[in-house]
């Protein structure tokens, strides 16, 4: 059924006006963003199909133009508007999450506070959390994105941002899309490099946390933050 054929009180926009956005279904909210449908399909029909094609709402975090390329009924303008809406929503959430001071001293808390950033990702994303002298979170930055097997991380970028933010310390977090949270040789070598550079720069790395959908591995909890063994 086309939107215009619905009773007025059943139309997504009218329902939002009367009930508030929180009362609408995912399909109704997406239909409002899409605005219009196509021949024989309403915007709500397209919304239902798109959610099914992407495999559920959680996968919307990672969509891009390539994901939408072959989906009929959504032109370039709609694609741009949808991607802009999703990105704006992410930034609102991240901004709000930084309003209240958060002490990053517990690896489990850090993991729980940030694991949503990695849901469904098929390549490595490398975040750095910059902290003040009391270990309060100043800012989280995504600095590097890699392939499924490799992430090219440049320590100079990590420390450059630390200076710009006047951070006293930082914590690294990245994902292993394979689901295996055991640190690779490259992970260990990078962490040891950051430990040594931190001593030289007076900006300490407190932890390096590897995450997957099933859990996390903390270098700090596993007593691996002392740097390479001497001798």
Per residue of the chain (231 residues), what is the pLDDT tens digit?
455 555 655 688 888 888 888 888 888 888 898 888 887 788 888 889 888 888 888 778 778 777 787 788 788 888 888 888 888 877 776 655 555 578 999 999 999 999 888 887 888 999 999 999 999 999 999 999 887 666 678 999 999 999 999 999 999 999 999 999 999 999 999 999 999 999 999 999 999 999 998 899 999 999 999 866 543
Same domain? 89 vs 111: no
- Residue 223 is assigned to a structural domain of this protein: no
- Residue 10 is assigned to a structural domain of this protein: yes
Domain count for the chain = 2
If you ran DSSP here, which 8-state letter would residue 230 be given?
Answer: P
Strands of the chain (E only): list them: 125-131, 137-145, 169-175, 204-212, 215-218
Domain assignment of residue 89, given as a range: 3-97
- Please tell me the number of Cα atoms within 13 Å of 47 on its side-chain side: 20
Torsion, Cα of 155, 158, 161, 166 (10° steps)? -100
- Residue 102 is assigned to a structural domain of this protein: no
Among 112, 114, 119, smallest CA distance to 139 is for: 114
Among 37, 34, 30, 33, smallest CA distance to 6 is for: 37
- Residue 225 is assigned to a structural domain of this protein: no
Same domain? 132 vs 195: yes
Same domain? 79 vs 173: no
- Residue 166 is assigned to a structural domain of this protein: yes
> Where does a domain end: 78, 97, 116?
97
Instruction: Give CA–CA dist 68/62, Å, rounded.
Output: 11
């Amino acid at each position: 059924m086309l939107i215009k054929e619905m009773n007025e009180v059943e139309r997504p926009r009218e329902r939002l006006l009367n009930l508030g956005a929180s009362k609408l279904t995912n399909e109704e909210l997406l239909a409002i963003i899409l605005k219009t449908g196509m021949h024989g399909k309403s915007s709500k029909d397209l919304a239902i199909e798109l959610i099914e094609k992407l495999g559920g709402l959680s996968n919307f975090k990672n969509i891009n133009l390539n994901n939408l390329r072959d989906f009929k009924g959504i032109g370039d303008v709609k694609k741009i508007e949808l991607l802009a809406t999703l990105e704006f929503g992410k930034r609102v959430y991240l901004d709000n999450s930084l309003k209240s001071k958060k002490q990053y001293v517990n690896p489990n808390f850090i993991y729980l506070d940030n694991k949503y950033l990695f849901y469904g990702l098929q390549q490595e994303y490398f975040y750095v959390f910059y902290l003040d002298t009391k270990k309060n979170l100043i800012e989280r930055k995504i600095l590097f994105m890699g392939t499924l097997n490799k992430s090219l991380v440049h320590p100079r970028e990590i420390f450059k941002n630390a200076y710009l933010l006047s951070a006293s310390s930082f914590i690294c977090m990245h994902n292993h899309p394979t689901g295996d949270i055991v640190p690779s040789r490259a992970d260990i070598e990078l962490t040891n490099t950051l430990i040594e550079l931190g001593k030289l720069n007076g900006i300490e790395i407190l932890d390096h946390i590897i995450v997957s959908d099933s859990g996390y591995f903390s270098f700090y909890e596993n007593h691996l933050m002392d740097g390479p063994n001497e001798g």
